Structure 1
Amino acid sequence: MDQFIFKNKLKWISYDKFENINKYSDKEGFGIIYKAKYKRIKVILKDFNHLNNSDECLNEFLNELSSDFYLTSN
């Protein structure tokens, strides 16, 4: 995950920096989705902790996200 963040110039944000965290959807594909705010900007958070094989699921999610970044940047 650290390589993905570095490669795609993403910023890791500590969980405690988010406000108004509310569950949005249960088990949506790769994890539970939450709505929140970060510096007054609406964001989506994904929780992978409940998954049995979270490392594998996280890698699959990051690969999908990477593909989406590639498609939208071209």
Structure 2
Amino acid sequence: MSLAELINDGLRLKGNKTRYWLANVTGVSIAALYDVTNGKRNRLTLPSMVKLAIALDLDLNELKKIDWK
């Protein structure tokens, strides 16, 4: 699973929320979220990842499943 898939699946499960909503809730820039979900970037900082997981109601253990390559 890629980071983009994790974010997109999380947004869908939250009721089709947008990346704009996620950026506002987490403080992660909208540009960073678009880059990740469009495949231009495959990493975020650990604090950003924790904020995303909390906002998307993900178990932090889900972060272990991400293919970071």
Structure 2-normalised TM-score? Answer: 0.30
Higher relative contact order (CA 8 A, sep 6+): 2
Q: Which has the higher strand share?
A: 1
TM-score by length of 1: 0.29
